Amino acid sequence: MTEIKASLVKALREKTGAGMMECKAALVEAGGDETKAIEILRKKGIATASKKEGRVTAEGAVGAYIHMGGKVGVLVEINCESDFVARSEEFQQLVKDVAMHIAASAPKYVRREEVPEEVLNKEREILREQLKNDPKNANKPEDVLNKIIEGRLNKFYEENVLLDQPFVKDPSKTVGELIIEKIATIKENISIRRFTRYKMGEGIEKKKDDFAAEVASMINS
């Protein structure tokens, strides 16, 4: 089997908008030939997803998901181009799946562009300190350390950005790749606009009882 480099997969994904797994499979089938791989993706309808980016998504649905007997709740708005698609079973299932994923994975942002710069800078600062505390990095130049830091930021994105998170029902793809797949099959542009995740008791400072002191007071009374 032809060995497919990650750089080839990334390049094909950028050109077609298809998911990483689909791009890799197409390249394997095409023997590493990018032109043939694009043709394979086009025949499957996957490569058409990128052409729909930028089209207005003014319709859609707000979905809800309640988990753990009411302990966690999610509201998510996902948009598409037409009311017809918004009411379709496939789109409604997508909304439910994404809401369930948010309940399980607790992302903080929809996409990378929403992460505040100060948050990224703080993360970079932490990563830099970690690298400096590792003797293996003692003689590495600053530009090399910066590249390592930017590479490790991907882990931060996977943990905090919805579109970068592995989809809970199929971790072989990200939520972003799931959306691209649905664009290809539904034939309309689809975008996740916003979400809110509620966890019961979150942000409330719970009273911590001093059990030992309570017992002592009972004994002495």
pLDDT per residue over 73-109, tens digit each?
Answer: 999 999 999 999 999 999 999 999 999 999 999 999 9
- Cα separation, 99 vs 95, whole angstroms: 6
Q: Which of 107, 115, 120 is nearest to 152 (CA)?
A: 120
C-beta separation of 123 from 155 below 8 A = no
Q: Indicate the pairing of strand 72-80 with strand 191-199.
A: antiparallel
Q: How far is residue 219's CA from residue 47's CA, in Å, rounded to a whole number?
A: 75
Percent of the chain's residues with pLDDT above 90:
45
**What are the structural domain ranges in the chain?**
1-52, 116-157
**Phi, psi angle pair for 67, to nearest 5°:** -130, 160
Quick one: 74 exposed, middle or buried, by C-beta within 10 A (0-12, 13-18, 19+)? buried
pLDDT 10s digits, 24-78: 888 999 998 888 888 888 777 665 555 566 666 889 999 999 987 899 999 999 9
Beta bridge partners of 67: 72
Long-range pairs for 202-206: beta carbons < 8 A, 24 or more residues apart? none
Class of 1-52 in CATH: mainly alpha
pTM of the model: 0.69
